[in-house]
Amino acid sequence: MENLQEQVMKPQDEEIEIDLKEIFFLLLHSWKMIFMAMLAGAVLLGGYHTFLLGPSYRADAELYITNTDSVVTFSDLQLSSALTDDYAQIIKSRTVLNRVIEQLGLELDYRQLQGLVEVENPDSTHIIQINVTCDDLEMSRNIANALLNIGIEQIYQIIGSSEPTIIDYSKAEAVEDVTPSLLKYLMIGALLGAFAISAVLIVRMMMNTTIKSEDDISRYLQLPVLAAVPYYKK
């Protein structure tokens, strides 16, 4: 008898086992709650998209880095490829950004402008692409073109080699509307709602240590079931 009591009172030091089947049926039986959470998440993010999220426009401009001499050697191409990353850093430098702010009369500091600018170098190319994303179509285009012109001047002053060649200026008709769609926000909201309520349900199930069935007695107490009293609900 004493051994039996010790076994019952002994704390369970074993690792918690996760029953995937039990979790599946828990979520299945809670489908109404999960559906309501999905609906609430979709409504919240949909409202944010409709009333708070402004439009976003992305303008791009491109330049080509290479020697402008009539005869281009293989070593020239290698040097241009090695300097491409340096040119990209110069375009996003504090000096260039401050000159763009001064030229366009922007009410931004250079850190805020830096957050709007992305300078990319496509793999295996000597091309530098300047992308500017903001909530004003005209401003994004003007900033991209100003960065292109001022960046080329700064590169020539620092590197001292021939100036890069401009491939494309940013044009108004080429500015892209990159505002996320309402459908995307609705789907993300629904998924977040379902994930949140599912996590709460699973945590509550794992934290619940009450005995609910004969299987729980065998699983948690390692004791045999001697008798069971059936319960009939009227």
Whether residue 88 is predicted with pLDDT greater than 80 in this model: the reply is yes
Q: Does residue 22 sit in the same domain as residue 131?
A: no
CA distance 219 to 206: 14
Whole-model pTM: value is 0.69
Q: Does residue 131 sit in the same domain as residue 106?
A: yes
| Full domain range(s) for residue 25 | 2-8+16-51+181-221
Q: Does residue 132 sit in the same domain as residue 165?
A: yes
Contact status, residue 198 vs residue 177, Cβ threshold 8 Å: no
Residue carrying the six token digits 């100003």: 146
**Dihedral angle, C-alpha 48, 50, 53, 57, nearest 10 °:** 150
Q: Does residue 40 sit in the same domain as residue 121?
A: no
pLDDT of residue 214: 75
Q: In total, how many domains does the chain have?
A: 2
Q: Which of 94, 91, 160 has its CA nearest to residue 131?
A: 91
- Specify if 229 maps to a domain: no
Q: Does residue 95 sit in the same domain as residue 203?
A: no
Instruction: Give the confidence band of 82 by pLDDT, cuts at 50, 70, 90.
Output: low
Whether residue 3 is predicted with pLDDT greater than 90 in this model: the reply is no
Q: What is the CATH number of the domain that holds 113?
A: 3.30.1890
Tell me: the pLDDT tens digits for 102-138? 999 999 999 999 999 999 888 767 888 999 999 999 9
CA distance 102 to 100: 5
Q: Does residue 109 sit in the same domain as residue 216?
A: no
Instruction: Read off the DSSP letter of residue 220.
Output: I
Q: Give the highest mean pLDDT range of 3-12, 50-59, 162-171.
A: 50-59
